[in-house]
Structure 1
Amino acid sequence: MSILLNINVLFYIIAFLFGGIPFGLILVKLRYGIDIRKIGSGSIGATNVYRAIKDTDPKNAKKFSILTIILDATKGLIVVLAAKILGLSYETQWAIALLSILGHCYSPYLGFKGGKGVATAIGSVILLIPIEGICGLIIWGIVGKVFKISSISSLVGVLSGIGLTFVVPYLFPIPSSISIVDQIHTHTPAVLIGLFIIYTHIPNIKRLFSGQESKVL
């Protein structure tokens, strides 16, 4: 029982439970009475929110999609921010980030099913590697605008941000506290996030190669 009183363990549990809150599902269910798990990919993320209501309410579909992105990103950001305020170690903060992403993808409130984890991943790491995170977010937006395919923009945005962790600290003079290598002496958590995002997008990647992945207009 004493292990549950350890502040790190408490944060790990909170991160997973908070990350699991299905904001997209809740928003659409409350406003339109639609279960987005029965629409499109069945994901609880922003893209499926858009798909679920674009025919019913095209004027607000994009607004609800953007709101879902913000809320899903905020889930990860809040728990990492709280850990920072309380002075928890960087190792703990990265573990919290990973667990909030896992919570979103395997929500304990939805039978351990959920979304793809992209928005929560960005929100979770933005305070840990802000330069790479912001760059990845910008790339995500640009690629999405050009190709209008959510899976491409998500994969390229997240993987670009992670790839930049191997570049930015060595090319530009940044404070050591915002370099992952100076924080924890390894790129492992960032790489794990990248691999996990690829894993959650395997069905999308298969559709991309077969030319069946749909655009989000």
Structure 2
Amino acid sequence: MILLAYLAGSISSAIVVCKIWRLPDPRTQGSGNPGATNVLRLGGALPAITVLFFDMLKGAVPTYCAYLMGIDAVSLGLIAIAACLGHIYPLFFGFKGGKGVATALGAMAPIGGGLALCLIATWLLSVLITRYSSGAAIITSLSAPLFTWWLDDRFTIPVAMLSTLIIIRHKDNIKRLLAGTEPKVTDKKLNKK
């Protein structure tokens, strides 16, 4: 399941969607990050929503299948991390992937609708207030283990594992946020970061 999750994660939705929509390669344009936020800047809402959906799906499917197989909580966390690592370091796309936020959200969603709603609401509220996708991702990642502990404490450790991975992946964004140079979601034209 770990290997299958990694392989599923390695299918880069952003690159595939950009090819289908004939948009620039998100690894070389905009922020240089092959994720939904950069695709939003490059091609608008519909391609970005498509990327978001498929990035979440590749986290949700392996984790939920493993859950149905009765795999223990810590192993579920490892499977979810494997899907995110596939997204971050995709085998099929030269190991240059995105931040893993949507894939992690997808992996956490099967825990329960309440958790998914809390995470989505936290991200949306954070991005509306700050206008920073990365800042919203960091805030949501910090909140996720607390929400999980409150709603279904069996999965607190795997969610904390995923959250740690997402925060580590955002280390450059954290530096830019502190320096005041991080691009906002509304920034249309960016030099590759």
The TM tier, using the shorter chain, reads: 0.7 to 0.9
Instruction: Report the Cα offset of residue 111 of structure 1.
Output: 1.9
Gaps of 5+ in 1: 1-10, 54-60, 170-177
Instruction: Report the Cα offset of residue 210 of structure 1.
Output: 1.1
1:135 has 2:118 as partner: yes
Who is 1:85 aligned against?
68
Instruction: Report the Cα offset of residue 77 of structure 1.
Output: 0.6
**Backbone CA RMSD of aligned residues:** 1.8
Q: Deviations over 1:132-167 (max 9, x none)?
A: 34312211011112222111111112221223234x
1:41 to 20, 26, 31: 31
> SS of the residue aligned with 2:91?
coil
Give the structure with higher Rg (CA): 1
Who is 1:172 aligned against?
none
Indicate conservation of the 8 Å contact 2:59/2:103, yes or no.
yes
Q: TM-score scaled by structure 1?
A: 0.79
Instruction: Report the Cα offset of residue 43 of structure 1.
Output: 1.3
Indicate conservation of the 8 Å contact 1:129/1:179, yes or no.
no
> % of aligned pairs identical?
32
Distance 2:83 2:63 in 1: 9
Instruction: Give the number of the structure with larger relative contact order, counting CA–CA contacts within 8 Å between residues 6 or more apart.
Output: 2
1:197 to 127, 147, 166: 166
| Between 110-119 and 190-199, the greater mean CA deviation after superposition | 190-199
How many residue pairs get aligned? The number is 186
Indicate conservation of the 8 Å contact 2:84/2:104, yes or no.
yes
Q: Deviations over 1:184-211 (max 9, x none)?
A: xxx4332222221111111111111111
Distance 1:200 1:92 in 2: 21
Instruction: Report the Cα offset of residue 16 of structure 1.
Output: 0.3
2:47 to 41, 47, 64: 64
Distance 2:87 2:166 in 1: 12
1:19 has 2:9 as partner: yes
1:123 has 2:97 as partner: no
Instruction: Report the Cα offset of residue 130 of structure 1.
Output: 4.5
Q: TM-score scaled by structure 2?
A: 0.88
